[in-house]
Amino acid sequence: MEQDKKPVMQDQPSTKQATKIGIFEDHEATGDTAAAYDFWRAGSGRRQVPGIIKCFGARPDFLRQVVQFSNTVHFSEGHLNRRHKEMIASYVSYLNRCPY
């Protein structure tokens, strides 16, 4: 019977969500994932990491690239300033019934 048991990986994401993507909650994040979450917090000024960011927790290297790209595309000054872009993003999220 002991042979039938599969080993449990230490750095596995939380399993209580209803997604196919493993989500690393803040209290579960260690090493590079925790550092990537801190990188996002430093740039956003927010404390709670949203689920859309956590879904990249298994690939902290990619998460940093996504955050940098998002900051460049969404939050750099251009035809629209950041305030207007945030208002549009909030309205689209509302229309999609998205909590982000």
Considering the domain boundaries, does residue 1 fall inside one? no
Q: Domain span at residue 82?
A: 21-95
Considering the domain boundaries, does residue 5 fall inside one? no
Integer angstrom CA distances of residue 50 from 3, 13, 23, 46, 47: 39, 15, 10, 10, 9
pLDDT of residue 73: 81
pLDDT of residue 89: 86
Low-confidence ranges of the chain (pLDDT < 70): 1-19, 99-100
Considering the domain boundaries, does residue 60 fall inside one? yes
Considering the domain boundaries, does residue 11 fall inside one? no
* pTM for the predicted model, two decimal places: 0.63
pLDDT of residue 8: 41
Considering the domain boundaries, does residue 13 fall inside one? no
Number of compact structural domains in the chain: 1
Considering the domain boundaries, does residue 100 fall inside one? no
CA-CA distance, 15 to 23, in Å (whole number)?
8
pLDDT of residue 34: 93
Considering the domain boundaries, does residue 4 fall inside one? no
Classified as helix, coil or strand, 71 is: helix
**Over the stretch 52-69, which tens digit does the pLDDT of each residue have?**
889 899 999 999 999 999
Considering the domain boundaries, does residue 77 fall inside one? yes
